Amino acid sequence: MPLYVPKYVRPEDAARGRAQTIRRLIWAAAAIPLLFAFFVFSYSDQAPSGLRSAIIALDRSLGFPIIGLLSKVLG
């Protein structure tokens, strides 16, 4: 059986890969709270009726996971 030889990765490529991973983590860390705030606002009375009805229709078509998550988190 041949020995395992790891693939050589240039330092520039490794740095680029790390930067891309960090960039994705930052975007994910920012997107999750923004989506949560958007859905909380969408279910509030201050949201325009079109937005509220669109979010409720989306939630209904998915089986109400959004309102279930919001009710668990917000108590």
Q: Given a cut of 90, is residue 75 above it in pLDDT?
A: no
What is the pLDDT confidence band of residue 2, given thresholds at 50, 70 and 90? confident
Q: Residue 72 to residues 18, 63, 69: CA-CA distances in angstroms?
A: 35, 16, 5
pLDDT the model gives residue 26: 97
| Annotated domain spans of the chain | 11-74
**Chain segment 32-63, per-residue pLDDT in tens:** 999 999 999 999 999 999 999 999 999 999 99
User: Would you say 16 and 43 are in contact if contact means Cβ atoms under 8 Å apart?
Assistant: no
